[in-house]
Copies of this chain bind each other. A is one copy, B any other.
Amino acid sequence: MAGIKDVAAEAGLSVATVSRVLNGHPSVSEDARRRVTAAVEALGYRPNAVARSLRTDQTRTLGLVISDVMNPYFTELARSVEEEARALGYSVIIGNADERPDLQDHHVTTLLDRRIDGLLVSPTDDGSPGMLAAARAGTPMVFVDRWIPGVDVPVVRSDGRSAVRDLVAHLHGLGHRRLAIISGPAATTTGRERVEAFRAALGAYGLPLPDAYIGQGDFQAESGRRVTEGFLELDEPPQVVFAADNLMALGALDAIRARGLRVPDDIALAAFDDIPWFVHTDPPVTAIAQPVRELGRAAVRALVDRIEGRPGSSVTLPARLVVRRSCGEPAAVGPSGGRGIDRPPSPVRRSTP
């Protein structure tokens, strides 16, 4: 493969001049510029990014370590991150942690070894050794979706509390009183927050959230299935299951179906994180939608700000409730007006399935 020296020889100039042309440095004659361009063309020369990175100490690459690629929420996040990064002149290397702290550490270490310019992480837990080391190491970093308390790094995430309140209002309006939640891992912020938001919203209606109605999941489909089976075996099973992510909702659907029960007639289901497939499940699933694209964009911008020396601040965007049919038909189904929700929620949208 041709190197800069070959180009210099072909153009009859020094490597310094070639480099200057390649980098758009001002003090180069028009003649030299032309000859270099011609030589580059003739040889099909492409600069070696590895050598360039070594010298300049920047790779123009961002690392993105996400908890689970197979989760459509993170897939979409990854996509939007890559898009925004590309627009800003950066590449992205994705690491899939599969909700495993050890795998997460592996990727963080590999990424740091490659001297990426900045790191975007949605941590699997409250701080694996590698993660904490990275935060201290001085590499620009931004948390997205989840974060680690006590670590001084900007966080880009969405606040689901108001959407959860809307959801509970919706459920209460439909007459449901025994509500259960399949939570995420207690070691993640989103795992804890969603339970807390749910409990708080329930409290506003004087409804309890007994321990038996809090199932410990891990954001994977299988745990949703297992927890839901547990719920269904209780003497007094819940009337509603709220899954803290879409994969666990899938598992819950599996478990309910396996029992021969029907949604929403026998039991209602709602999920955190909306995805296109929820429109076509049987029945369409009521879900809380995060502004994923905006989250990805904001995270990249915050990170690039840090990389390029600007402050780079935290961002919190609101999530919103999307009502479908998995919790029961609202009492009134008119095209507008009374939605059958007994307290006026702010940003509820009803999607026609």
A interface vs B, CB < 8 Å?
1, 44, 46-51, 53-54, 59, 69-70, 72, 75-76, 78-79, 82, 86, 91, 93-94, 96, 106, 109-110, 112-115, 133, 137, 221, 250, 253-254, 257, 276-277, 279-283, 353
If A50-B50, A257-B353, A277-B281 are given as contacts, then 9 extra A-B residue pairs at C-beta distance below 8 Å, sorted by A number, are A50-B59, A70-B72, A72-B72, A79-B96, A91-B114, A94-B94, A250-B280, A257-B280, A282-B283
Q: Which residues of B contact A51 (CB under 8 A)?
A: 54
Choose one: B86, B96, B221, B282; the contact of A82 (CB below 8 Å).
Answer: B96
In the docked arrangement, what's the CA distance between A113 and B53, Å?
Answer: 11
Choose one: B54, B82, B113; the contact of A54 (CB below 8 Å).
Answer: B54
5 pairs of A and B residues whose beta carbons are closest in the complex: A282-B282, A277-B277, A49-B113, A280-B281, A49-B114
Q: Which residues of B contact A221 (CB under 8 A)?
A: 276
Each complex incorporates copies of this chain amounting to 2
In the docked arrangement, what's the CA distance between A69 and B76, Å?
Answer: 8
Contact B75 A79 (CB under 8 A): no
Q: Which residues of B contact A115 (CB under 8 A)?
A: 48-50
Q: Which residues of B contact A280 (CB under 8 A)?
A: 250, 253-254, 257, 277, 281-282
